[in-house]
Structure 1
Amino acid sequence: MHRIMLVDDEQNILNALRRLFVSPSLQDTGSPKFQVETFTSPQQALRRAEDGVVFDLVISDYRMPEMDGVAFLKAFKKIQPDAERLILSGYADLGALVGAINEAQIFRFISKPWHDYELKSAVEQALAHRDLLRDNQQLADQVRLQIGVISKQEMALRRLEEESPGITKVHWGEDGSVIFDENEVSDDAAQEADKWLNSTK
């Protein structure tokens, strides 16, 4: 199942997008294909991304009063660089968006109002691209492990970071204990790191 974040300051737009993602045409038979979270505030969405919840895809509106979509996606990329990013906007914004899209490495621009088929296609392509990059990284890590470029521990740390962004950013005490900064690592991430560290002893 892929986890998707939707960000738009208009609740009715979020409702329409959510309906699209839970429609039978976008679901696998017998089980949900997407887990969708919606936010009207880009700042709240960034805080959620910092909580260690991994998103495969984030779709943001461009024009929002709190923070424009490109600034939001750039900030999101710093927290979760592996998530694919799409932006929704009217054609009137296209000129202003071109440079910013490249700067934030946005996968695709979707015009508003969108066509359901176009949006579905863009989402499927973005998620397929993300899955391919992840699979390639895992294969590359296995090759590096086999030829001795990285250790099993480094590979395990990469997996932990992929599953829970920020989990490996810990501080070590003089006695070898792990000191967690509450501003950097969530409680869930701290518990996961403790489990992993205990399993390696």
Structure 2
Amino acid sequence: METVLIVDDEPLMLKAITRLLSRAPCTFDGCTYNIKLLTFSDAHEALEYLRLHAVSLVLSDYRMPGLSGVELLSAALELQPQAMRMIISGYADLDALMAAINQAQIYKFIPKPWSDYELVSSIAQALRHRELLLDNQRLADMCRLKMKQDSPQEQERRRLEALEPGITRVRWSDDGALLLDPSDDNK
């Protein structure tokens, strides 16, 4: 099952996309994807979710209060580089599009109002593209392992980090103790 996270500060947009994805099959290139859909109207809450949970795709509105879509997707790129990123916007601003492409490395820009077919098709295409990228990464890892350019431990670390973002980031206190809770910084 593919997890798709959608962020838009307009609740009606979230409802419309949810309704569309619940009734239209996400199919591309002979592959049909089962989607677990998560919606957030607050970009900061979505970012917190991304810090702790792996997702397959993040679809974000461009203009939101507090954190723009480009800022959110740039952070998502840092946290989960294997997740696909897409922007949806009612503003056809060329500068915004260039920023999204350059900073957040988006897969696609979808204008509002969207065509239902285009939106569902774009999500399916992005999921298929991600699947191919992950297959390519697995093959490259196997080659590096065979050529002794990578260790099994390093490959396992990358695999675990992709499954559970942040799991391999260890935090230490000034006295050398392992920090399990971020609030332990001040103790």
Question: TM-score, normalized by length of structure 2?
Answer: 0.86
CA–CA distance in structure 2, aligned partners of residues 121 and 24 of structure 1: 10
Superposed displacement of residue 44, structure 1: 0.3
Aligned residues: 176
CA root-mean-square deviation: 2.3
Equivalent residue letter for 2:79: I
CA–CA distance in structure 2, aligned partners of residues 139 and 172 of structure 1: 35
- Name 1:196's counterpart in structure 2: none
- Name 1:154's counterpart in structure 2: 154
CA–CA distance in structure 2, aligned partners of residues 40 and 113 of structure 1: 18
Superposed displacement of residue 138, structure 1: 0.8
- Name 2:164's counterpart in structure 1: 164
SS in 2 for 1:93: coil
- Name 1:10's counterpart in structure 2: 10
Q: 1:54-101: CA deviations, max 9, x gaps?
A: 0100000111122221111112211111111111112x4322323212
CA–CA distance in structure 2, aligned partners of residues 165 and 59 of structure 1: 18
SS in 1 for 2:70: helix
- Name 1:41's counterpart in structure 2: 42
CA–CA distance in structure 2, aligned partners of residues 11 and 66 of structure 1: 16
Which protein has the bigger strand share? 2
SS in 1 for 2:93: helix
Asked if the contact 2:26/2:123 (under 8 Å) is kept, the reply is: no
Residues 178 and 158 of structure 1: CA distance in aligned 2, closer, same or farther (over 3 Å): farther
CA–CA distance in structure 2, aligned partners of residues 22 and 180 of structure 1: 41
Asked if the contact 1:8/1:64 (under 8 Å) is kept, the reply is: yes
Asked if the contact 1:61/1:89 (under 8 Å) is kept, the reply is: yes
- Name 2:121's counterpart in structure 1: 121
CA–CA distance in structure 2, aligned partners of residues 178 and 155 of structure 1: 27
Equivalent residue letter for 1:5: L
Equivalent residue letter for 2:60: S
SS in 1 for 2:153: helix
CA–CA distance in structure 2, aligned partners of residues 72 and 183 of structure 1: 22
Residues 184-199 of structure 1 mapped to structure 2, 5 A cutoff: none
CA–CA distance in structure 2, aligned partners of residues 137 and 8 of structure 1: 31
CA–CA distance in structure 2, aligned partners of residues 168 and 113 of structure 1: 41
Superposed displacement of residue 136, structure 1: 0.7
Q: 1:141-190: CA deviations, max 9, x gaps?
A: 111111111122111111111111111112579xxx98244339xxxxxx
Q: Which runs of 5+ in 2 are unaligned?
A: none
Q: Point out 4+ residue stretches in structure 1 off by more than 6 angstroms.
A: none
Q: 1:112-132: CA deviations, max 9, x gaps?
A: 010110011111111111111
Highest RCO, 1 vs 2 (Cα 8 Å, sep ≥ 6) = 2
Q: Percent identity at matched positions?
A: 42
Asked if the contact 1:170/1:178 (under 8 Å) is kept, the reply is: no
Residues 56 and 32 of structure 1: CA distance in aligned 2, closer, same or farther (over 3 Å): closer
Residues 24-39 of structure 1 mapped to structure 2, 5 A cutoff: 24-26=24-26, 33-39=34-40
Residues 178 and 49 of structure 1: CA distance in aligned 2, closer, same or farther (over 3 Å): farther
Asked if the contact 2:4/2:58 (under 8 Å) is kept, the reply is: yes
